[in-house]
């Protein structure tokens, strides 16, 4: 919860708040990757505990692929985007 609340601090900088918000937002935004990684671990541990010969392979792979793509899309890409030296050039560009 705190990583999400303080992670938005890099937006405060662009509204005219002091420069330290850029760093607070970057530091706490890096912590937002942890829940995505935990979601990937949970999905694969449940798949490991379950049976491997699932009758619906497409649904099974979708269930494993969704947290992985969320981790890379929202986690890794979001992490890189919120670093202060990247955010300085990419903020507001919808990159």
User: Is 90 in a helix, a strand, or coil?
Assistant: helix
H helix or E strand, kind and range, residue 44: helix 33-49
pLDDT at 5 over 60: yes
Q: What is the pLDDT of residue 16?
A: 84
pTM, two decimals, is 0.70
User: Looking at residue 1, what is its pLDDT?
Assistant: 64
Q: Are 28 and 6 in contact (CB under 8 A)?
A: yes
So what's the pLDDT on residue 65?
95
Does 75 or 14 have the greater pLDDT score? 75
pLDDT, tens only, 36-70: 899 999 999 988 888 777 888 899 899 999 999 99
Q: Is 29 in contact with 78 (CB distance < 8 Å)?
A: yes
């Amino acid at each position: 919860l705190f990583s999400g609340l303080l992670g938005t601090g890099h937006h405060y900088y662009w509204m005219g708040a002091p420069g330290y918000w850029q760093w607070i937002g970057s530091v706490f935004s890096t912590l937002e990757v942890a829940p995505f990684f935990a979601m990937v671990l949970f999905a694969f541990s449940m798949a490991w505990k379950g049976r491997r010969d699932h009758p619906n392979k497409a649904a099974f792979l979708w269930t494993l692929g969704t947290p992985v793509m969320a981790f890379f899309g929202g986690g890794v890409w979001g992490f890189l985007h919120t670093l202060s030296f990247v955010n300085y050039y990419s903020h507001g560009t919808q990159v």
